[in-house]
Amino acid sequence: MSVRHLAVIGLGLIGGSLARALRAAGEVGRISGYDPDPVQRQQALKLGVIDEVHEQAPEAVADADLVVLAVPVLRTAEAYAACLPGLRPETVVSDVGSTKQSVLRDIAAVCGGQLPPRFVAAHPIAGTEKSGVANSQTELFRNHRVIITPHEHQDAAARQLVARLWQAIGARVVEMSPAQHDAIFAATSHLPHVLAYSFVDMLARLERSGEIFPNAGGGFRDFTRIASSSPQMWHDVLRANEAAVADLLDRQIEELQQIRRMMAESRWDELKALFERARAARERYLSQIE
Amino acid sequence: MSVRHLAVIGLGLIGGSLARALRAAGEVGRISGYDPDPVQRQQALKLGVIDEVHEQAPEAVADADLVVLAVPVLRTAEAYAACLPGLRPETVVSDVGSTKQSVLRDIAAVCGGQLPPRFVAAHPIAGTEKSGVANSQTELFRNHRVIITPHEHQDAAARQLVARLWQAIGARVVEMSPAQHDAIFAATSHLPHVLAYSFVDMLARLERSGEIFPNAGGGFRDFTRIASSSPQMWHDVLRANEAAVADLLDRQIEELQQIRRMMAESRWDELKALFERARAARERYLSQIE
């Protein structure tokens, strides 16, 4: 057992799945939890995801060896600040947020401008379009990546503890800088969510949307799956990683305008060449992850 | 048995899967085939998808009761014209193209301006991102829709034969007008392919594309799956349904520009409301297809 007492702040899909996985791996003793939503709190307790629930964050983290903040990214620093009265100096605190520069900046701000040595910023690359502790799964992180973005003056033992726990539940830990993280995930995750939401919304606003959706096939279902994700979470991610997403969105709009011009000017061979480039790039991607 | 002799022109994923399914259902006697590509021809024969292969289309269709043109949409009329010398007056001809107005217009053009009464335009809403007869599957169409777009002066018995065969292999037949078909599938299928190809191509052109792809997760994989589809096929579909796709692409670009302005002007509540509308629309779609 690596952690005598784990506190999970934010009892949703990710916080719940992490608690389940660490318990199943025998890595934690007692698990306490807090969520601002009484429904999630009671469900987490009832499902046995946590051992005890608290109505205040400082009570949940009192005596904890490790605190995981599993809240929407924009609320991470606020959650950290709320826990502060209950934290011991030796408590390790980590997060699971989808952006990293903003989390580190915000936490430094609530800690007098300097990052606490025992704060470890982490991002598990896993999830489903479903939210809430009721959808949490023990195996959610197995064979998935977890990005840890170290910071200056970080306590090496704290970082190693967090890395070891993720590895113990089957995840693969990769380290990179916060800026590199945010640029990469703007491309692979944040922009695709914008495109999927935007596409479904555009269709829903069409006059004939009523006849469109019943005729959609399997390709449509996969392409739009991420548009069923939590609007609150993705609103937060976009705000937190605004610059990187805006840059890519500009490029995406520019590329779509180019395609539109190819169509208008009947430059069909160029369009086909673009499709071929894209297919080849995706085949390279598949060969890298398999 | 409904069809003594079936001829399949175009031995790819769809033509091959249809031949397999009709044989498995006991609906056809003998199956002959033709494809311009000798590799597909030999594979189809070797896999037992067809009983005999021909090096010329008229030979393949001679004596056939039903001919299915399973070629890229822009080649449908050309394939029809190539078969003409071998067709008997009573032979029913059908297709599987993803657009319908262009196919009907092009076939009328090679038939002296009038659609042949025994031509039945059909579109099975099934497929995978994989191409070629080697990927053909007996069960590809089960529980999928097939759209039939009737035309004036169509032979009712010909249409009924085609509908009955699709039903015999587990598909659900729906009739609608060619224009309605093309508008609906521009939205559910053609535009998503443009967006997926365009997104992957945009990423592949980034300087840091080498570090992006290895960090992509499951959401990315689903979102980009259709970008592995056949560039030739989708080039054809876009040309064949240009007006409907161009209209939707304009709307999509406009919506992305709106999102970009919301970000630039920090109108985050509007962005969240858009995400919420999209999620609600997708939930309605899921409830309709389940």
Residue-wise pLDDT for B86-99, tens only, equals 999 999 999 999 99
| A184, A235, A277 ranked by CB distance to B201: nearest | A277
Q: Please state, in angstroms and rounded to a whole number, the distance separating the CA atoms of residues A205 and B28.
A: 45
**Per-residue pLDDT, A1:** 82
Test mutation, B197, B206, B276, B288, chain A, max A CBs within 10 A:
B197
The predicted model gives A58-80 an average pLDDT of 96
Say yes or no: B186 and B166 in one domain: no
The number of distinct structural domains making up chain B is 2
The predicted model gives B121-137 an average pLDDT of 90
Q: Which residues of B touch A197 (CB under 8 A)?
A: 274-275, 278-279
**Per-residue pLDDT, A219:** 84
pLDDT classification of B69: cutoffs 50, 70, 90? very high
Q: In what order do the strands lie in the sheet with A122-124?
A: A122-124, A145-148, A172-175
pLDDT classification of B290: cutoffs 50, 70, 90? low
**Per-residue pLDDT, A288:** 80
CA B51 to chain A, closest CA, distance in angstroms equals 31
Say yes or no: A158 and A204 in one domain: no
Which chain B residue lies closest to A287 (C-alpha atoms)?
Answer: B214
**Per-residue pLDDT, B162:** 98
**Per-residue pLDDT, A126:** 86
Say yes or no: B89 and B117 in one domain: yes
The predicted model gives A156-171 an average pLDDT of 98
- The helix/strand/coil state of A33 is strand
Q: Does residue B176 register a pLDDT over 90?
A: yes
Say yes or no: A76 and A198 in one domain: no
Q: Does residue A31 register a pLDDT over 60?
A: yes
| A174, A263, A277 ranked by CB distance to B246: nearest | A263
pLDDT classification of A290: cutoffs 50, 70, 90? low
Between B250 and B126, name the one with better pLDDT. Answer: B250
CATH number at residue A277: 1.10.3660.10
Q: Does residue B67 register a pLDDT over 70?
A: yes
By residue range, what is the domain housing residue A8? 3-176
Say yes or no: B28 and B131 in one domain: yes
Taking only the tens place, the pLDDT of each residue in A81-93 is 999 999 999 999 9
Closest CA to B116 of B159, B75, B60, B148: B159
Say yes or no: A193 and A274 in one domain: yes
pLDDT classification of B217: cutoffs 50, 70, 90? confident
A257-277 as b/e: b if 16+ CB within 10 A: ebbbebbeeeebeebbebbbb
The answer to whether residues B167 and B144 touch, using CB atoms and an 8 Å cutoff, is no
Q: Does residue B85 register a pLDDT over 70?
A: yes
Stretch among A130-134, B42-46, B184-188, B247-251 having the lowest mean pLDDT: A130-134
**Average pLDDT of every residue of chain A:** 95
What ipTM is given for this predicted complex?
0.87
User: With an 8 Å Cβ cutoff, are B278 and A222 in contact?
Assistant: no
CA distances from B287 to B45, B187, B280, B283 (A): 42, 19, 11, 6
Say yes or no: B68 and B11 in one domain: yes
**Per-residue pLDDT, B287:** 86
Q: Which of B157, B176, B195 is the last residue of a domain?
A: B176
Say yes or no: B48 and B169 in one domain: yes
- Residue at B136: amino acid letter: S
Stretch among A12-21, A60-69, A76-85, A212-221 having the lowest mean pLDDT: A212-221
